[in-house]
């Protein structure tokens, strides 16, 4: 399935993140096109995908970019501000629910914010990161992102839910917190 970041093949972290940006755009299409009775579950899948993608960037890619690219701290701070704005919108939409009268309007605003953020990453962060890192470093980061995402699957296989413990449940903030916990575990970091 094209919206499962945990099964992606890209071995270079930049290629991997670009492919995830495309996946996020597809997931927005799915939510927009979902019939009203499927909209809530499509939105939940979008939130899971954004939770693992943004959290993997925050834990693995942005810290690396800070040290590697010109003006890295400023570039990363700008990206974190954008990510936090999107998270607030996600949280508001989750609280209002998929039947809220302004759901479509908020979804359009969220999409615009998330896509502008992805373009800024591509332009101001990823191009420089590719230029200032070795292939081995980028492979290492991709392995970290994939290991992290495998621990927080967006689509646990039916019947294995208890084994994989569908960790991404609850509100968007709860999902992001859980994604951060498992990513730190995958990286062998203390909480």
**Who contacts 12 (Cβ-Cβ below 8 Å, separation ≥6)?**
135, 138, 139, 142
Number of residues that bind Fe ion (CB under 5 A): 3
**Who contacts 40 (Cβ-Cβ below 8 Å, separation ≥6)?**
97, 98, 99
| Smaller CB separation from Fe ion, 39 or 146 | 146
Q: What is the DSSP letter of 156?
A: P
The CB-of-27 to Fe ion minimum distance in angstroms stands at: 13
**Plot region of 97 (φ>0 → left; ψ -120 to 50 → alpha; else → beta):** left
Q: Which residue is nearest to Fe ion (CB)?
A: 57
Site stretch for Fe ion (CB under 5 A), options 43-51, 104-112, 120-128, 181-189 = 120-128
| Smaller CB separation from Fe ion, 6 or 57 | 57
Q: How is residue 32 written in tokens?
A: 């927009």
Measure the CA–CA gap between 136 and 143, rounded to whole angstroms: 10
Q: Does 149 bind Fe ion (CB under 5 A)?
A: no
Per-residue x/- marks for Fe ion, 76-115, CB under 5 A? ----------------------------------------
Site stretch for Fe ion (CB under 5 A), options 8-16, 118-126, 153-161, 173-181 = 118-126
Measure the CA–CA gap between 63 and 77, rounded to whole angstroms: 10
| Smaller CB separation from Fe ion, 121 or 149 | 121
Q: Quick check: helix, strand or coil at residue 89?
A: helix
Site for Fe ion in 6-65 (CB under 5 A): 54, 57
Q: Can you give the binding site for Fe ion, defined by CB under 5 A?
A: 54, 57, 121
């Amino acid at each position: 399935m094209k919206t499962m970041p945990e099964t992606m093949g890209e071995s270079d972290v930049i290629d991997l993140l670009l492919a995830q940006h495309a996946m996020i755009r597809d997931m927005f299409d799915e939510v927009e096109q979902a019939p009203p009775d499927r909209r809530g579950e499509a939105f939940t899948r979008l939130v899971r995908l954004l939770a693992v993608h943004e959290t993997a960037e925050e834990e693995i890619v942005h810290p690396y970019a800070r040290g590697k690219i010109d003006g890295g701290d400023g570039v990363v701070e700008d990206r974190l501000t954008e990510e936090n704005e999107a998270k607030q919108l996600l949280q508001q939409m989750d609280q209002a629910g998929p039947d809220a009268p302004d759901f479509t309007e908020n979804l359009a605003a969220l999409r615009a914010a998330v896509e502008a953020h992805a373009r800024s990453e591509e332009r101001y962060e990823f191009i420089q990161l590719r230029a200032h890192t070795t292939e081995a470093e980028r492979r290492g980061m991709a392995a970290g992102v994939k290991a992290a995402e495998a621990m927080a699957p967006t689509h646990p296989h039916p019947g294995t839910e208890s084994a994989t413990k569908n960790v991404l449940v609850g509100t968007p903030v709860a999902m992001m917190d859980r994604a951060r916990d498992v990513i730190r575990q995958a990286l062998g970091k203390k909480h």
